[in-house]
């Protein structure tokens, strides 16, 4: 068991790094410093095959019965309106609208028995992305809090910084695309829990990009997006048109004045610690490597078409660009937009015309692209939602929340493609064998990255806590 306990709560004389960042972050080029000061791009030596993870998160809860665990022999009120088709995986009953994935199913494994008791979007979203239950009860809240468990990506960020002993570099280790989860929802949006560093500290939050809607009722996941929209601006960063050299110099001068005042009050040790993060933010703003990595236009039109020109497809392609540039953990959200999402209570129309085909296109293109570039063997791909859907549909062929059974797709980094793991009952309601918890998923992700799932890190009170508490690695998935 490895314990990483070197996280410091203060930089000197009781002055916390967070306080310094809050004081200085108000002005640096429009940046939100605590969210941008992430980690070193240098990869540490590990025993796992995965150098990086692409985590495709289908928020809202895709139906197991309409995707990767169809029950064509069930009564009509259960089986749904879609039909299964043949794939390269003999035991896989895959939806007819996942035709591209069917052709590459030899590259991925399907876990059919993901399960947990938290039948709510925010609580389940936190659980699946962290491997730990949320401290807020169901319907007790919707937004992230500083008391949340750190996401898997934040743990990777933290572990990498501890291993390398630095927080420098052009790109962080953890990135979230295309927005923070909840940003495009109505009524001003939400900040859903699960993707942040929580009590680990804001310095281990992801770098998050921002893509806006065209208008109030617009859904960029359901249509092609043009290049003007797909600028993948860093969240909190002023636009390129506003960021002139004169402005950089002016901001730099203001920061120098701030630094001079800070030195007189806190001493050199504090300002030296602050300077490291200030320079980190500056490197993000001025780095040619960062600008190139976030420029989706550098990809060929043919490849962009293969991923799909919708927001999820282009964000998945951007995730591939970023892990190729050195990012270790890239999360891609298919978020809820004005109620239209994988939370498909209403009908199968959006599943058939947008949701399932969009994932089919992006996931199959990603696996093919990674394989052709020689990156699939060192990149773990995970694709799932936070829950499934009720076995019995309503009169509009929508389905309710159902957390006790849902599927997950895993590929790359030694995962045995063309396989399934676990069996569900005849109604796709409960696991018959090999129930798989979010803790198990987290342990498997960390194992693939060469991070011991029994590793302990210091919580907000300085106590060592396990990163995957009780989780079992799914060794059967690996070749």
Tens-level pLDDT at each residue, the chain (479 residues): 566 654 444 333 344 433 433 333 333 333 333 333 333 333 333 357 999 999 999 999 999 999 999 999 999 889 999 999 999 999 999 999 999 999 999 999 999 999 999 999 999 999 999 999 999 999 899 999 999 999 999 999 999 888 877 665 678 999 999 999 999 987 667 999 999 999 999 889 999 999 999 988 899 999 999 999 999 988 876 454 444 445 445 544 544 554 555 455 544 534 443 454 455 556 666 678 888 999 999 999 999 999 999 999 999 999 999 999 999 999 999 999 977 889 999 888 999 999 999 999 999 999 999 999 999 999 999 999 999 999 999 988 899 999 999 999 999 999 999 999 999 999 999 999 999 999 999 999 999 999 999 999 999 899 999 999 999 999 999 99
User: Who's near 198: CB < 8 A, 6+ residues apart?
Assistant: 130, 144, 145, 146, 147, 148, 149, 150, 151, 154
Return the number of other C-beta atoms located less than 10 Å from residue 64's C-beta. 26
Could you tell me the domains of the chain? 3-477 (3.40.720.10)
Cα 298 to the center of its chain, rounded Å: 23
**Closest-CA residue to 266 (of 3, 9, 467, 10):** 10
Q: Decide: 132 and 443 in contact? Cβ < 8 Å.
A: no
Mention every residue, 6+ apart, whose C-beta is less than 8 A from residue 463.
Answer: none
The strand pair at 379-384 and 406-411 is best described as antiparallel
Distance of CA 130 to the CA centre of its chain: 10
Element (H, E) at 406: strand 406-411
- Rounded to whole angstroms, how far apart are CA atoms 260 and 157? 31
Among 243, 246, 229, smallest CA distance to 286 is for 243
| pLDDT tens sequence across 381-435 | 999 999 999 999 998 889 999 999 999 999 999 999 999 999 999 999 999 999 9
């Amino acid at each position: 068991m490895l314990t990483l306990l070197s996280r410091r709560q203060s930089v000197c004389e009781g002055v916390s790094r967070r306080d310094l960042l809050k004081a200085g972050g108000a002005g640096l080029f429009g940046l939100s410093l605590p969210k941008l000061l992430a980690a070193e791009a240098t990869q540490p030596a590990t025993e796992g095959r995965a150098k990086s993870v692409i985590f495709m998160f289908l928020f809202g809860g895709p139906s197991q019965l309409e995707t990767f665990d169809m029950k064509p022999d069930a009564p009509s009120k259960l089986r749904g309106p879609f039909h299964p088709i043949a794939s390269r995986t003999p035991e896989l009953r895959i939806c007819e609208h996942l035709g591209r994935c069917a052709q590459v199913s030899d590259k991925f494994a399907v876990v059919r028995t993901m399960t947990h008791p938290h039948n709510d979007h925010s609580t389940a979203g936190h659980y699946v992305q962290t491997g730990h239950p949320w401290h807020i009860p169901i319907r007790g809240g919707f937004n992230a809090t500083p008391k949340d468990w750190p996401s898997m990506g934040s743990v990777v960020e933290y572990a990498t910084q501890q291993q390398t002993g630095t927080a420098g570099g052009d790109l962080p280790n953890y990135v979230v695309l295309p927005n923070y989860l909840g940003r495009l929802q109505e009524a001003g949006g939400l900040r859903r829990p699960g993707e942040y560093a929580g009590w680990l500290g804001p310095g281990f939050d992801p770098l998050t990009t921002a893509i806006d809607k065209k208008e109030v009722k617009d859904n960029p996941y359901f249509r092609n997006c043009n290049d003007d929209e797909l600028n993948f601006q860093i969240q909190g960063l002023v636009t390129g048109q506003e960021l002139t050299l004169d402005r950089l110099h002016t901001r730099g001068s203001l920061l120098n004045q701030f630094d001079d005042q800070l030195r007189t009050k806190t001493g050199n040790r504090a300002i030296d610690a602050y300077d490291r993060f200030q320079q980190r933010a500056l490197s993000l703003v001025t780095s040619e490597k960062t600008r190139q990595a976030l420029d989706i236009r550098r990809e060929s039109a043919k490849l962009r078409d293969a991923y799909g020109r919708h927001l999820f497809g282009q964000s998945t392609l951007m995730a591939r660009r970023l892990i190729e540039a050195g990012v270790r953990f890239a999360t891609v959200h298919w978020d809820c937009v004005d109620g239209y999402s994988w939370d498909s209570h209403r009908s199968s129309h959006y599943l058939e015309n947008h949701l399932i085909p969009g994932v089919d296109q992006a996931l199959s293109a990603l696996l093919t692209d990674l394989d052709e570039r020689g990156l699939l063997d060192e990149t773990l791909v995970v694709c799932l939602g936070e829950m499934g859907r009720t076995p019995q549909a309503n009169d509009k062929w929508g389905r309710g929340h159902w957390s006790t059974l849902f599927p997950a797709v895993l590929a790359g980094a030694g995962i045995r493609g063309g396989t399934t793991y676990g069996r569900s009952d005849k109604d796709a309601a409960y696991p018959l064998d090999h129930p798989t918890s979010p803790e198990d998923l987290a342990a498997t992700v960390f194992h693939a990255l060469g991070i011991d799932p029994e590793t302990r890190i210091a919580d907000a009170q300085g106590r060592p806590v396990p990163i995957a508490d009780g989780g079992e690695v799914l060794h059967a998935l690996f070749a």
